[in-house]
């Protein structure tokens, strides 16, 4: 059996800040890189077109729906003949630079039907000197015809559990997936607010308490120094993944979506979802004709004080009990 093709599958919406870095790194290993672009206006499409391995397709959805976009990527990838390993990465994710020297990479490169691979993030801190490790996520599998995961608009598994072959699960320990998200802190803040607003629209009964706990967790993981092998092989090729990022944007697409949600639903609908005053200041100072007020009731302010004050102990039995009671009341 010959080696399968390695197909990188990536959704994009206004990812110009990191896309050059991502495509430079992915081009080192992928046979094809499928980019499903969802109406980018920041130059992402133009960046993608510079890379010979990229197959650029259009995601015509007007809102976030992860199952739909995975189907789009899968369908395009399956037009390529031959055996294939699907590797589903976001644009802010690259392998640590030692990946090609590892036994785990050899397993991926020689994958067989039923093989599915789990990875861990190395979440890079804003200082670009430290990181934390996440839990396991399944991001690659030998394509044997199984369709994308169950219906879902957000946070679904990127690749399915094999249904047409005997599953053979692997855990990639020899290298990590560098997650660049937190380096662009301002964008991460906007992204987390967007997720909370969007979820509240899709699931009106979803508690703002649950949303806060989901997106404002204090990391349990140990803060580690970035080791040389994460970066060395890239640097030898002249690739500096941190210096290659463009962190100049002030307003992000998520900010614009949040504003539209406020216009459509009104601030009262989102009153228990906390937004820091600095976000309002940023919006009002950088967007003409916008003058948003941070309108929160006394109850909303008290709720935030409680949630923020208990963030570091939110898993304790007492706090989980109080949260449960508050979800009934609020």
The pLDDT of residue 153: 86
The pLDDT of residue 1: 64
Q: Which residues belong to CATH 3.90.550.10 in the chain?
A: 5-181
The pLDDT of residue 155: 85
Sequence-distant (6+) residues with CB within 8 A of 275 are 193, 294
SS3 129: coil
Averaged pLDDT in 10-residue chunks for the chain of 330 residues: 94 99 99 98 98 99 93 97 98 99 98 97 98 96 90 87 92 99 97 97 95 84 94 98 98 98 95 94 94 91 94 93 93
The pLDDT of residue 217: 78
Contacts 24+ apart (CB under 8 A), 201-208: 201/261, 201/265, 202/153, 202/154, 207/327, 207/330, 208/272, 208/273, 208/303, 208/330
The pLDDT of residue 219: 66
CATH number of 5-181: 3.90.550.10
């Amino acid at each position: 059996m010959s080696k399968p093709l390695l197909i990188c599958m990536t959704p994009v919406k206004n990812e110009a800040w990191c896309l050059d870095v991502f495509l430079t790194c992915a081009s080192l290993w992928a046979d094809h890189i499928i980019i499903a672009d969802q109406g980018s206006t920041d130059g992402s499409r133009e960046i993608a077109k510079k890379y010979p391995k990229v197959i650029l397709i259009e995601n015509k959805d007007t809102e976030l729906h992860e199952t739909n976009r995975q189907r789009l990527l899968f369908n395009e990838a399956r037009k390529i003949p031959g055996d294939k390993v699907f590797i589903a990465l976001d644009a802010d994710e690259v392998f640590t630079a030692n990946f090609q020297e590892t036994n785990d990479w050899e397993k991926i490169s020689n994958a067989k039907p039923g093989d599915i691979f789990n990875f861990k993030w190395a979440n890079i801190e804003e200082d670009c000197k430290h990181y934390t490790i996440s839990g396991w996520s399944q991001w690659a599998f030998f394509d044997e015809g199984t369709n994308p995961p169950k219906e879902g608009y957000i946070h679904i598994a990127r690749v399915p559990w094999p249904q047409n072959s005997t599953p053979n699960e692997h855990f990639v320990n020899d290298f990590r997936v560098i997650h660049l998200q937190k380096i662009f802190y301002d964008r991460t803040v906007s992204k987390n607010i967007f997720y909370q607003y969007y979820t509240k629209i899709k699931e009106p009964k979803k508690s703002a308490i649950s949303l806060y706990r989901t997106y404002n967790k204090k990391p349990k993981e140990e803060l580690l120094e970035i080791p040389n092998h994460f970066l060395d092989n890239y640097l030898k090729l002249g690739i500096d993944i941190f210096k290659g990022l463009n962190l100049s944007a002030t307003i992000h697409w998520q900010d614009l979506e949040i504003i539209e949600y406020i216009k459509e639903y009104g601030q009262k609908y989102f009153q228990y979802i906390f937004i820091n005053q600095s976000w309002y200041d940023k919006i009002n100072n950088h967007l003409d004709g916008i003058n948003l007020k941070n309108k929160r009731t006394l109850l909303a302010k008290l709720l935030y004080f409680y949630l923020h004050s208990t963030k570091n102990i939110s898993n304790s039995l007492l706090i989980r009990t109080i949260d449960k009671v508050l979800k009934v009341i609020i």
